[in-house]
Amino acid sequence: MKGYHFTAVSFLAALTAAGCGAAPDQEDTGNVSQWLGDKPHFAVSGTFDGKPMNFRLEGDAAKDVRCTRNYSAMPGAMKNAEGKYDTKDLYFVMKEIGIVTTIDGKPTEVSVGYWRHDVAAGSSLEVIPRVRGTSIPEGKTWVDFELGEPGATGPTGIEKAAEAGTFQMKLNTGTPDQSGVYIPTGGRTGEFISINWGPQESLTISITSDCQDAEIAPWGPSVAPP
């Protein structure tokens, strides 16, 4: 069975000059069986969309891995005179971690997202099927995996929400503002994730990334309400 072929690419370079600055091809590195530690990295092994997938980006190859926290306003919250929500009225919707690589000669953004519960390091969550518009119970989460077009503003490529699995938070730092919930920027996140789409398709993922500025997601309540 033909697998995905990966080459690391600088995130910014991929957006401005696809294919430039590519690192050496990533070789088969064996299955990802544990979290690879607190230095930035992005590693995946298993099968996705019917193809074997096995890559490990570390060191310089992982320097552009990025993390974005997304928050939404609670139902009934009103914007202030400046057109912004008070951060005490926000809730955590999801966190996305991604990196741009070259897959089969084409720049591709690989990303993983987890939803609703930004738990402390040392915590585990059960991965359940995504049902849009429903609240996610405590102790559970949705996880999605995507191969998409770098810089795209809407859905591109292949995105799948896992049917089952386990999410382990290994590292989760960052300083909340006075609300105690909203982390405007900074901190580092690290996860070890095992997900599947039935017996024939599964991935294990190890990631660590520094986080960028948070985003306010107007779509949050319609997808994952509090």
Gyration radius (Cα) of the chain, Å: 17
Q: Is 119 helix (H, G, I), strand (E, B) or coil?
A: coil
Structure confidence at residue 151 as a pLDDT band (50, 70, 90): confident
Mean pLDDT, residues 109-131: 97
What CA–CA distances, in Å, run from 3 to 19, 61, 104, 172, 219?
A: 20, 20, 9, 32, 34
Instruction: Please tell me the predicted confidence (pLDDT) of residue 103.
Output: 80
Q: Is residue 205 part of a domain?
A: yes
Asked if 42 and 29 touch (Cβ cutoff 8 Å), the reply is no
Structure confidence at residue 23 as a pLDDT band (50, 70, 90): very low
What CA–CA distances, in Å, run from 101 to 36, 105, 131, 165?
A: 19, 9, 30, 25
Which of these ranges, 22-31, 38-47, 174-183, has the smallest mean pLDDT? 22-31
Domain count of the fold of the chain: 1
**Cα gap 37→192, rounded to integer Å:** 10
**Cα gap 222→218, rounded to integer Å:** 9
Which of these ranges, 142-156, 177-191, 210-224, has the smallest mean pLDDT? 142-156
Closest by CA to 158, choosing from 111, 94, 220, is 111
**Cα gap 72→63, rounded to integer Å:** 29
Instruction: Please tell me the predicted confidence (pLDDT) of residue 8.
Output: 45
**Cα gap 210→69, rounded to integer Å:** 11
Strand 158-161 with 164-172, pairing = unpaired
Rounded to 10 degrees, what is the CA torsion of 178, 181, 182, 185?
90
Instruction: Please tell me the predicted confidence (pLDDT) of residue 3.
Output: 55
Q: Is residue 218 part of a domain?
A: yes
Q: Which domain holds residue 18?
A: 6-223
**Cα gap 39→79, rounded to integer Å:** 38
Q: Is residue 135 part of a domain?
A: yes
Q: Is 50 helix (H, G, I), strand (E, B) or coil?
A: coil
Q: Is residue 1 part of a domain?
A: no
Structure confidence at residue 105 as a pLDDT band (50, 70, 90): confident
Q: Is residue 192 part of a domain?
A: yes
In this predicted model, what pLDDT tens digit does every residue of 43-79 receive, in sequence order?
999 999 999 999 999 999 999 999 999 999 999 999 9
Asked if 136 and 142 touch (Cβ cutoff 8 Å), the reply is yes
Q: Provide the residue type at 30 as one letter.
A: G
Residue 179 has pLDDT above 70, yes or no: yes
